[in-house]
Amino acid sequence: MDERLENQNLSEDEHIKNKSDFLRGTIKESLNNPLTGALDPDDIKLIKYHGSYQQYDRDLDSERKMQKLEPLYQFMVRVRAAGGITSPQQWIALDELSDKYGNGTMKLTTRQSFQFHGILKRDLKLTIQAINETLLSTLATCGDVNRNVMCNPNPYQSEIHEEVYKLAAEISDYFLPKTTAYHEIWLNKEKVAGATDVEPLYTEHYLPRKFKIALAIPPNNDIDVFANDIGLIAVEENNRLKGFNFCVGGGLGSTFGEKATYPRLADIIGFVEKNKVIEVAETVIAIQRDFGNRQDRKNARFKYTIDKRGLEWFVNELHTRLGWEIESSRPYNFTTNGDEYGWVKGTNGKWFYTLFVEHGRVKDEEGYQLKTALRELAGVLQGDFRLTGNQNLIITNVEEKDKEAIESILLEKGVFNNPKHTGLRKNSMACVALNTCGLAFAEAERYLPSLIDKMDEIMRKNGLEDDEINIRMTGCPNNCARSSLGEIGFVGRAIGRYNMYMGASHNGDRLNTLYKEMLSEEAILEEIEPIISAYSKEREEGEHFGDFVIRKNIVEITDRPVKVLS
Ligand code: SRM
Ligand code: SF4
């Protein structure tokens, strides 16, 4: 074992990684054990690096217990698609897989990935193989490594978008684990005799915790760049990509009652030329590898490494390791962290349609046949599908002559110009939560739509039905739908009870703060009605809701702003 780690009181996860033989563990044997639908406990942790979580159907839990059955174990599988780009052929294949092995739905996640739920152990390998056959992968979508790299998905806006996307894909590939365990376990590749794994960056210990990178192109912050361990803000010069403002130390998860855990936005430490970005990112990751907390996972994210040692210490360490200093940051301006819906003509003359997908769940319901519509559309689409960081979908590169056909497919299935899609709803996000997420205290994705129905009545009464207030709900403070960046944020405390937060900026550069705790639906509506009414009457020209509640002292402004090093 590495000398630095030998004398530390390492967390259990560290021991599991260290003895896993580069993430192999006994996953193969666990998969073949017919006596249980579950994996061996260590393999449950290791399988995350391969892109899957063991879960169980929480709705059926008490019924199964009464019948003296083990929980209905099932697996979530997350698919890596850097920048969220997939071809129509890949879409069709994934759609088929969700029916064949999953619960018949797909989830477009807040990090531009696909998730399948409800896969049984016996089908897990077949599912992962089939995903790889589409030339997508699940490797490193979870686990203590760099995850799916996010990137502004709007290719129509300028030429630099394509260049930034290519860099996102390069970063995503560059930081993949190098172990061949994935190929051996899932793709039946033989280990070359005598070959040993080498993980030049991660080593056999991997990182202390998950690591996330995202690239934003102003004025859109639709991937919430400051929520990432490394955030890159594109800087243009004469319509060409020059480089990035480099941000470090974002992360939103926390634990109720544990003050040492908190959401934190990334700080801007300077500007880096585009061809140096990977070098700097690799050095940053190595610093977190070497100094991150490996004893307490709740304090192991990079944001805590920075806060514990200080931003100045970190920048010094970075410069020493690089052997050169990064430049001062450049001016930038974000206007929104939301998506721009509807048709937009791209710089290439083709059309792009951003479609609202409520909380990213691709499914069919009566009068709203989204899954069928998208499958049909994939059969005729010449361009590709791009997942947004707000759980939505962009249908890209449509010829003028094909627009009508696309609209009629969507219209026929009830997903085009749906009158329920108000300003509030279209700016809402919710995490998965129940029934699959083992960490959920309360509903999110399955509940927020009905709360919005009720809030929309209030919005309508005040003439605000088209107003874009961003509203986010998560079933726990891990913050997977980035509730801390909601102008209105709800975080589940218990079934039917939420903490309510307000006052985040509309462009994702300011966290919200706590307004009231443990609110029921009735209490939420009672609290929000007078605030919305006041907002409609007393807001200043162009003032966003998050700014209004701070100006009116309804909530305090966050004491954790984004720092900019000069
Ligand atoms: Fe997340 C864990 C779902 C984005 C912070 N997240 C989980 C797990 C795997 C629960 C678990 O550990 O057992 C959830 C699976 C639920 C399920 O049934 O599918 C889960 N996270 C999601 C997704 C699917 C939410 C969604 O509805 O879209 C998102 C998948 C992203 C992807 O494609 O990779 C998702 N998670 C996020 C984000 C948002 C982001 O990255 O921009 C965050 C906040 C940012 C951050 O990382 O700080 C986030 N997830 C967490 C955390 C808290 C980490 C922390 O530092 O404290 C956990 C729990 C953990 O890691 O221990 C977690
Ligand atoms: Fe689960 Fe909590 Fe993440 Fe929601 S925020 S998906 S409840 S871990």
- Identify whether 467 is part of a domain: yes
Catalytic residue among 437, 482, 493, 510: 437
Q: Which residue is closest in CA terms to ligand 2's atom 3?
A: 480
Catalytic residue among 121, 210, 426, 482: 210
Catalytic residue among 431, 472, 482, 493: 431
State the DSSP code for 539. P
C-alpha distances (whole Å) from 172 to each of 91, 167, 241, 292 are 20, 8, 19, 21
Q: Are residues 280 and 333 in the same domain?
A: yes
Q: Which residue is closest in CA terms to ligand 1's atom 15?
A: 437
210 is catalytic: yes
Catalytic residue among 142, 151, 247, 480: 480
Q: Are residues 169 and 289 in the same domain?
A: yes
Q: Are residues 88 and 156 in the same domain?
A: no
Task: Note down the domain range covering 98.
Answer: 51-138+343-418
Q: What is the dihedral of CA 270, 271, 275, 278, to 10 degrees?
A: 30
Pocket test for ligand 1, best of 248, 258, 480 (most atoms within 8 A of CB): 480
Q: Are residues 223 and 148 in the same domain?
A: yes
CA gap 137, 51 in Å, rounded? 8
Q: How does residue 153 score in pLDDT terms, banded at 50, 70 and 90?
A: confident
Q: Are residues 78 and 102 in the same domain?
A: yes
CA gap 472, 5 in Å, rounded? 39
Which backbone phi and psi does 268 adopt, to 5 degrees? -95, 115
Q: What is the pLDDT of residues 461-484, one digit of tens each?
A: 999 999 999 999 999 999 999 999
Is residue 179 within 8 A of residue 22, CB to CB? The reply is yes
Cα 415 to the chain's mean position, in Å? 24
- Identify whether 104 is part of a domain: yes
CA gap 278, 322 in Å, rounded? 12
Nearest to 205 by CA among 127, 143, 264, 280: 143
CA gap 354, 344 in Å, rounded? 8
Based on its alpha-carbon atoms, the radius of gyration of the chain, rounded to whole angstroms, reads: 23
Atom of ligand 2 nearest to the CA of 437: 1
Q: What is the pLDDT of residues 157-193, one digit of tens each?
A: 677 998 999 999 999 999 999 999 999 999 998 877 7
Last residue within a domain, chosen from 395, 418, 441: 418
Q: Are residues 285 and 154 in the same domain?
A: yes
- Identify whether 18 is part of a domain: no
Q: What is the pLDDT of residues 17-34, one digit of tens each?
A: 999 999 999 999 999 999
CA gap 266, 269 in Å, rounded? 9
480 is catalytic: yes
Is residue 91 within 8 A of residue 54, CB to CB? The reply is no
Pocket test for ligand 2, best of 476, 482, 485, 495 (most atoms within 8 A of CB): 476
Q: What is the mean pLDDT of the chain?
A: 95
For the residues 221-250, what does the mean pLDDT come to?
Answer: 96
Looking at all shown ligands, the one closest to residue 227's CA atom is 1
Atom of ligand 1 nearest to the CA of 297: 62
Q: Which residue is closest in CA terms to ligand 1's atom 41?
A: 111
Which residues, at least 6 apart from 505, have a Cβ–Cβ distance to it below 8 Å?
Answer: 487, 544, 546, 547
Nearest to 251 by CA among 278, 284, 211: 211
Q: Could you tell me the distance, in angstroms and rounded to a whole number, from the CA of residue 517 to the centre of ligand 1?
A: 22
Ligand 2, CB within 6 Å, residue ranges: 431-433, 437, 439-440, 444, 474-476, 478-480
Q: What is the pLDDT of residues 294-346, one digit of tens each?
A: 999 999 999 999 999 999 999 999 999 999 999 999 999 999 999 999 999 98
Q: Find where tokens 């993949």 sit.
A: 176
Last residue within a domain, chosen from 338, 360, 379: 338
CA gap 180, 191 in Å, rounded? 7
- Identify whether 281 is part of a domain: yes
Assigned token pair, 15: 């021991």
Q: Could you tell me the distance, in angstroms and rounded to a whole number, from the CA of residue 196 to the centre of ligand 2?
A: 37
At residue 33, the 3 state secondary structure works out as: coil
Question: Can you give the pLDDT at residue 82?
Answer: 80
For the residues 89-100, what does the mean pLDDT come to?
Answer: 97
Q: Are residues 394 and 535 in the same domain?
A: no
Least confidently predicted of 147-161, 210-224, 261-275, 372-386: 147-161
398, amino acid identity: V
Assigned token pair, 561: 């702003």
For the residues 417-444, what does the mean pLDDT come to?
Answer: 95
Q: 541: domain CATH number?
A: 3.30.413.10
- Counting Cα atoms < 13 Å in the Cβ hemisphere of 191 gives 14
Catalytic residue among 24, 212, 375, 510: 212
Question: Can you give the pLDDT at residue 2?
Answer: 63
State the DSSP code for 445. T
Q: Could you tell me the distance, in angstroms and rounded to a whole number, from the CA of residue 433 to the centre of ligand 2?
A: 5
Assigned token pair, 106: 């797909």
Q: Could you tell me the distance, in angstroms and rounded to a whole number, from the CA of residue 493 to the centre of ligand 2?
A: 12
Looking at all shown ligands, the one closest to residue 111's CA atom is 1
Question: Can you give the pLDDT at residue 60?
Answer: 86
DSSP H helical ranges for 413-501: 423-426, 448-461
Is residue 8 within 8 A of residue 294, CB to CB? The reply is yes
Q: How does residue 211 score in pLDDT terms, banded at 50, 70 and 90?
A: very high
Q: Which residue is closest in CA terms to ligand 1's atom 58?
A: 478
Q: Are residues 327 and 473 in the same domain?
A: no
437 is catalytic: yes
Q: What is the pTM of this model?
A: 0.97
Q: Which residue is closest in CA terms to ligand 1's atom 56?
A: 253
- Identify whether 171 is part of a domain: yes
Q: Could you tell me the distance, in angstroms and rounded to a whole number, from the CA of residue 495 to the centre of ligand 2?
A: 14
Q: What residues does 499 pair with on adjacent strands?
A: 491
Nearest to 565 by CA among 197, 271, 265: 271
CA gap 23, 236 in Å, rounded? 40
Pocket test for ligand 2, best of 76, 361, 437, 499 (most atoms within 8 A of CB): 437
Q: Which residue is closest in CA terms to ligand 1's atom 52?
A: 478
Q: Are residues 269 and 366 in the same domain?
A: no
Q: What residues does 85 pair with on adjacent strands?
A: 386
For the residues 61-81, what does the mean pLDDT come to?
Answer: 91
For the residues 52-66, what does the mean pLDDT come to?
Answer: 89
Question: Can you give the pLDDT at residue 59?
Answer: 87
142 is catalytic: no
Pocket test for ligand 2, best of 117, 439, 472 (most atoms within 8 A of CB): 439
Catalytic residue among 24, 45, 107, 147: 147
Assigned token pair, 221: 């912050």
- Identify whether 306 is part of a domain: yes
Question: Can you give the pLDDT at residue 106?
Answer: 98
Helices (H) and strands (E) in the chain, counts: 18, 22
Atom of ligand 2 nearest to the CA of 433: 7
Which backbone phi and psi does 336 adopt, to 5 degrees? -155, 155
Ligand 1, CB within 6 Å, residue ranges: 53, 55, 76, 78, 109-111, 113, 115, 141, 147-148, 210, 212, 224, 227, 251-253, 301, 360, 391, 431-432, 436-439, 478-482
Assigned token pair, 525: 């509506």
Q: Which residue is closest in CA terms to ligand 2's atom 2?
A: 476
Last residue within a domain, chosen from 366, 399, 418: 418
Is the pLDDT at 3 greater than 70? The verdict is: no
Which backbone phi and psi does 130 adopt, to 5 degrees? -65, -35
Q: 71: domain CATH number?
A: 3.90.480.10
Q: What is the pLDDT of residues 337-375, one digit of tens each?
A: 999 999 999 888 999 999 999 999 999 999 899 999 999
Q: Are residues 239 and 333 in the same domain?
A: yes
Q: Are residues 305 and 381 in the same domain?
A: no
Top-ranked range on mean pLDDT: pick from 7-21, 153-167, 208-222: 208-222
- Identify whether 388 is part of a domain: yes
Number of domains in the chain: 3
Q: Are residues 397 and 371 in the same domain?
A: yes
Q: Could you tell me the distance, in angstroms and rounded to a whole number, from the CA of residue 513 to the centre of ligand 1?
A: 20
CA gap 404, 50 in Å, rounded? 41
Order of all β-strands in the sheet with 428-430: 428-430, 471-474, 488-494, 497-502, 513-519
Q: How does residue 69 score in pLDDT terms, banded at 50, 70 and 90?
A: confident
Q: How does residue 1 score in pLDDT terms, banded at 50, 70 and 90?
A: low
- Identify whether 246 is part of a domain: yes
Looking at all shown ligands, the one closest to residue 252's CA atom is 1
What number of other Cβ atoms are within 10 A of residue 416's Cβ? Answer: 17
C-alpha distances (whole Å) from 214 to each of 28, 65, 85, 385 are 33, 42, 14, 19
